Amino acid sequence: MRKNPSLRIYALAYLAFLYAPIVLLPLFAFNDSRVIAFPLQGFTTNWFAEMWADKTLFIAFRNSLTIAVSAAVFSTILGIFAARASTRYKFPGKPGILGLIMLPMVLPEMIVSMALLVVLIAIGVPLSLFTIILGHVLICTPFAVAILTSAFQSLDRSLEEAAYDLGETPASTFRLIILPLVMPGIISSLLISFTISLDEFIIAYFLGGNQTVLSVYIFGQFRFPAKVPAVMALGTILVCISIVLLTIAEYFRRRGIAKSGGKDTGGFL
């Protein structure tokens, strides 16, 4: 059977559309011109220096980091509880409860942020980094639950019983057996939640009050054409960080599966 060449062209065009803009980021980040246009001028690292000197950018970056780390830690802790409960215990209404936990994954963020904004204002909570963290925990938790459930599921129940049988308490069994075996899942969950939170825009924009985070700041900079090359430099750095984090996350996820002898299903990379 001959393959249809138009399908191949479609696939290539699709990939180009997906990734070409990302390739443009480093291209213009090192381009010696304030105008974003071909042909490229000379090579420069000025934009990175300009970006580095920007105080507001630094504050936005620090805010984003605080939010992303907090959101990753909280959603992973919540994810551990939910994943453990969903894989080990039976309780009434389990499918419904798990469904509700996973729902924010598919819910438009606009709705989540609007609803949160209305509630927070109504009960008089001032908008701050904390409120952004709340919103981000909400959207990161489903991802944490999904990753951790697969980690907990690949754990043979007999392992727990064996440890218990050999004289350990439920608490020490969790520490000595379960935790080390799901650790790759935990690391993977932390990294992915961190990444999701870091580049989230809508919730950060709605719930941030007068605090600026990276994504909102970058969007703001596009109003000033002169600032765009510096944003490109920042974007280049963010792309690199994202690739590194996702690679580490995937590495730990796969190692976790290999360790417990399970089959590789799904995954991000």
Partner 1 sequence: MTTTEKPNMIEFRDVHKYYGDYHALRGINATIKAGEFFSLLGPSGCGKTTLLRTIAGFEDISSGAVLIDDKKMDDVPANKRPTNMVFQSYAIFPHLTVEENVGFGLRRDPRSKDEKAKAVAEALEMVGLKGYGKRAAHALSGGQRQRVALARALILKPKVLLLDEPLSALDKKIREQMQVELIKLQREVGITFVLVTHDQEEALVMSDRIAVMFEGQIAQLADPETLYRRPNSRKVANFIGTMNFLPAEVLSEGAGGIEVEAQGFGRMTLSTDQVMAGEAGQGAVVGFRPETLTILYDSQTATDREVMGTIEEVVYFGDMTYYDVKLDGTTEALRISMRNVFGRPVLEIGTRARVAWSPGALVMFR
Interaction site with partner 1 (CB under 8 A): 156, 158-159, 161-169, 177, 180-181, 259-261
Nearer residue to partner 1 within complex by CB, 56 or 172? 172
Q: Please state the closest distance from residue 90 (CB atom) to partner 1, in A.
A: 11
Shortest approach of partner 1 to residue 170 CB, angstroms? 9
Residue whose CB is less far from partner 1, 33 or 172? 172
Nearer to partner 1 by C-beta: 156 or 264? 156
CB of 260 to partner 1, least distance (A): 6
Nearer to partner 1, 34 or 255 (CB): 255
**Residue 32 or 161: which CB sits closer to partner 1?**
161
To the nearest whole angstrom, how small is the minimum distance from the Cβ of residue 177 to partner 1?
6
Tell me the three-class secondary structure of the chain, residue by residue.
CCCCHHHHHHHHHHHHHHHHHHHHHHHHHCECCCCCCCCCCCECCHHHHHHHHCHHHHHHHHHHHHHHHHHHHHHHHHHHHHHHHHHHCCCCCHHHHHHHHHHHHCCCHHHHHHHHHHHHHHCCCCCCHHHHHHHHHHHHHHHHHHHHHHHHHCCCHHHHHHHHHCCCCHHHHHHHHHHHHHHHHHHHHHHHHHHHHHCCCHHHHHHCCCCCCHHHHHHHHCCCHHHHHHHHHHHHHHHHHHHHHHHHHHHHHHHHHHHCCCCCCCCCC
**Closest distance to partner 1 from the beta carbon of 167 (Å):** 5
